[in-house]
Amino acid sequence: MTSLAEAREALDELVHSPVRFTLMSALNSVDSADYQTVRDALGVSYALLTKHATLLESAGYLKVTKGFRGKTPRTVYSLTRKGRDAYAAHLAALDRIVRGLA
């Protein structure tokens, strides 16, 4: 059994930010999602979403695909395998912490 201290240390600081955690939660439930859908769902500004997505992309947790739909630019986000694994490990650590001393 993992101790509470070990669980706390297992939390991923990159995932732990409320915006990044919510972004990863949203993307973990789908294969991919376009920028506008994610921004609307999270209720954050374009700048804030871009900032946090860039951090996750730099860590290899997020794949950003840019393209066009007709003449309209389109950005699509998806979690990488590394990102899904980091998210699952973070959730496992949170679950252990939530169980407390039991």
| H or E stretch at 76 | strand 72-79
pLDDT of amino acid 69: 85
What tens digit of pLDDT does each residue of 78-96 get? 999 999 999 999 999 999 9
Residue 77: closest CA among 91, 67, 69, 89: 67
Would you say residue 1 has pLDDT above 70? no
Q: Is the pTM of this model over 0.95?
A: no
Query: Mean pLDDT for the chain?
Result: 95
pLDDT confidence tier of residue 2, bands split at 50, 70 and 90: confident
